[in-house]
Amino acid sequence: MKRRQAREAVLCMLFDYGFHTEEKPEELLELYLDYFYDKKEENISEEIRLDDYFSKVYFGVIANIAEIDGIIEKCSQKWSKKRISRISLSAIRIAIYEMLYMSGEKDGISPEISINEAVELVKKYDSEDSYTFVNGVLGAAYRLIKEQKSAAE
């Protein structure tokens, strides 16, 4: 599975998780794959189950959602998280997770790629001008994360 496809699948799952936070993420994933994923592409559901990136990001975002949402609150300049569309919020969460946990030497996802991919997802799935907001929040988040990492060293 290509990374972009995996990101789109994570976006769908995080969007759904936003409506069902009381459910176990594993159960939501199985429900989604068993009943809602495009049956014409049955091999995709098996690819998702086996895709390391998908598993790491989907479960990682949920496990670290409080930390990620804290960064979003700090960087969204007077916008509460509740005002951000679920699509944009899901894309922002993916990018921030990547910046926090996957930008090192092992995974090698640069913050610029994380930001760009989130912007592209929002252009594809959200309202016409949402991408500018997402780009701004993620730019601020990148600077904040960089400062925090520098201070920790």
Asked if pLDDT for residue 121 goes beyond 90, the answer is: yes
- The pLDDT of 49-57, averaged and rounded, is 89
Residue 124 confidence (pLDDT): 95
- The pLDDT of 110-119, averaged and rounded, is 95
Q: What is the CATH number of the domain that holds 135?
A: 1.10.940.10
- More confident position, 129 or 98: 98
Rg over CA atoms, the chain = 15
- The pLDDT of 4-33, averaged and rounded, is 87
- More confident position, 45 or 40: 45
What is the band of 141 on the pLDDT scale with cuts at 50, 70, 90?
Answer: very high
d(CA 104, CA 120): 22
Asked if pLDDT for residue 26 goes beyond 90, the answer is: no
The domain of 33 spans: 3-152
Contact 139, 115 (CB under 8 A): yes
Domains held by the chain: number: 1
Residue 28 confidence (pLDDT): 84
What is the band of 85 on the pLDDT scale with cuts at 50, 70, 90?
Answer: very high
Encoding tokens for residue 57? 């990001």
Residue 80 confidence (pLDDT): 79
- The pLDDT of 127-153, averaged and rounded, is 92
* Phi, psi (rounded to 5 degrees) for 64: -115, 25
Asked if pLDDT for residue 105 goes beyond 90, the answer is: no
Instruction: For tokens 């994380």, name the residue.
Output: 114
What is the band of 30 on the pLDDT scale with cuts at 50, 70, 90?
Answer: confident
Percentage of the chain beyond pLDDT 90 is: 55
Residue 34 confidence (pLDDT): 73
